[in-house]
Amino acid sequence: MSRSFYTQGTKRIRSRFNTLWLRAASAWRGQRPLVSTVSQSRSLGARFSFQRLHVGANSPTGPGAGAGAGALAYLASHSQSSSLHGSTAAAAGGAMASTGEHAARSEGQPAKEAPAVPWWTRYTRWRQTSRQEGKDAEYKVMRLFPGPAGPLQASDVPVGPGREDFLHTLSGGQQGVDPPVVMMPGYGAGVGFYYRNFPSLAQRLRLFAVDWLGTGLSGRPAFRAKGREDAEDFFINSLVTWRRAAGLEGSKMILVGHSLGGYLAATYALRHPEHVQHLVLVCPAGVPKAPEDWERQWLGEKWTWRGQLFKVFMRGWEAGITPGSIIRGLGPWGQSLVYKYVANRFSHHGEGLSEREIEVFKQYFYHIAAAPGSGEFALRHLLAPGAWAHSPLEERLHELKVPVTFIYGKHDWMRPEHAVRLCEQLRTERAPRAAHDLSVEIIDDAGHFVFLDQPELFDKALMSVVAPYLKTASQRSSANAYAAAGTSVHVAPEAGAAAAAAAAGGAPLSGAAATSWGFAASGAGQGQAQQQQEEAVDAEGVQLEVGEEDESGAARPAVSGGGRVR
């Protein structure tokens, strides 16, 4: 009796102390709730909704006014709401009205940051993470690149009856612009991976970024899929429900998916083509068929160290061991492992992340990687070791009824020549349905995370795909002007896989492959350059190189400007 009483008393004291600590930390940080609402849904139950408005460092009304134009305001909603346009949106408006008063109270000083949990938890937890810490880490990531795009709103959108059935969503940008752009992250990633792209894209587009169910900061329900189709249903069905809850039923979306998220986005477009205006696959996984001898290539000789390690790796893959489960199992050493990976991978590719970015981004990466396992366990059902799909897109996209564009980094380990070969095959079956349909964009000096390695070039490549679908001439003009200065490589399908391999490897193009390339000017000359390119296509459909002589002997005028390679 006394032992039970002692245990209960200890728990109460610990709980009370933690509560007081969190309150003191929040007060010291200078943050307090500006808006508090209740979002009710008859089908999914009433849930408490809590919003906080934070002003970006470059906000004209917040701290650091005058440092830049506008602010990327991040409205963090740590709740679940059935719609992004209901009470949450109304709360956002009220919070925006309070921004000036909040900034005045801060007296021009940036808010202090305090740990979200007591310091001693570093020594009492095996996994140094929690959902709240993940949300705080995402908020810090979003503050890295403020800009005139706000506000971006973070919401947890219910997609089922369970407590963990919700999709974490960032939304914002230009509300009057159609079609909306929906960006889906890859395996082991989250919407925060697009933080470098939000400021420029949100200035011109209506933007949504969504964590797949069971990944990122979305809910982590139990994963019970037994095969490929069940695993695909786990992700696709929840996204269908999200689209309805987000109020996008009246619009077709530009669906963007990265890596394994690209594979799932393609699956969504195959099942629901009526929902998708254009499919953009960024470094997608699962495009080619696996070579017949891929296991022998990996295995080498059976009785070698490499062969034995491969056998262990295969057994772990088949047993459902994932990178996330390893990170969780290693506890505090898993955190160090993630930190080292982020520092090594993201500081030496493309533009590279600054030290401050790496410091913030590695914490976000760890918290989403060490969260309870759920969607990550779909990996073995969808892919074989080596990222070979059990049902490759090369065999499935023949049934695709929407335009598709591929974007790769030049140094991506997902090779672009597979996509070029696929586009060649599709061109023999049908004509392109839209501009940039059945095309491959290769961005220089970028790897698998092309949008982090070269954010500006990625944004321009994506904007060039979206621009033709914008409703008004002014919107199209603005998007085209922004996309004009891109420097990605455009591989025409008729160039073939050899052209893609040469482009990805940096080798010069020669012979027939070179006739598929040209240069488009940057800036105001983009439209003229495109017209010159179109006029340079001969009767047989062969596009001439800049400066190349046509059949009449007249040299095609060179286009000035560094420009985008086409």
> Are residues 270 and 191 both part of a single domain?
yes
In a domain, 181, yes or no: yes
Q: Are residue 185 and residue 284 in the same domain, yes or no?
A: yes
**pLDDT tens-digit series, residues 246-294:** 999 989 999 999 999 999 999 999 999 999 999 999 999 999 988 876 6
451 and 433 share one domain? yes
Residue ending a domain, among 451, 484, 517, is 484
Helix (H, G, I), strand (E, B), or coil: what is residue 565? strand
Least confident of 182-191, 206-215, 428-437: 428-437
The model's pTM is: 0.69
More confident residue, 298 or 83: 298
Which of these ranges, 42-51, 71-80, 411-420, has the smallest mean pLDDT?
42-51
- The verdict on 325 and 184 lying in the same domain is no
In a shared domain, residues 391 and 245: yes
Residues 258 and 312 in one domain: no
Same-domain pairing of 411 and 365:
no
Report if residue 241 sits inside a domain: yes
User: What is the mean predicted confidence (pLDDT) over 285-312?
Assistant: 73
Confidence of residue 530 (pLDDT cuts 50, 70, 90): very low
pLDDT at 45: 32
**Using the 8-state DSSP alphabet, how is residue 391 labeled?**
S
**In this predicted structure, what is the pLDDT of residue 311?**
74
Domain boundary among 357, 382, 407: 382
- Count of structural domains, the chain: 2
Collapse the DSSP code of 180 into the 3-class scheme (helix H, G, I; strand E, B; otherwise coil) and give the result. coil
Position with higher pLDDT, 113 vs 424: 424
User: Do the domain assignments include residue 202?
Assistant: yes
Peptide bond into 151 cis (omega under 30): yes
Q: How far apart are CA 489 and CA 443, in angstroms?
A: 6
Residue with tokens 């996984």: 285
In a domain, 339, yes or no: yes
Q: In terms of domains, do 273 and 407 share one?
A: yes
Same domain, residue pair 266 and 352: no
3-class secondary-structure state, position 278: strand
Which CATH number does the domain housing residue 166 bear? 3.40.50.1820
Q: Which of the listed residues 449, 464, 484 is the one where a domain comes to its end?
A: 484
The pLDDT > 70 percentage for the chain reads: 60
Judge whether 499 lies within some domain. Answer: no
pLDDT at 320: 82
* Residue closest to 193 by CA, chosen among 164, 173, 215, 219: 215
Domain that holds residue 230: 148-291+385-484
Kindly state whether residues 444 and 456 are assigned to the same domain: yes
Same domain, 361 and 404: no
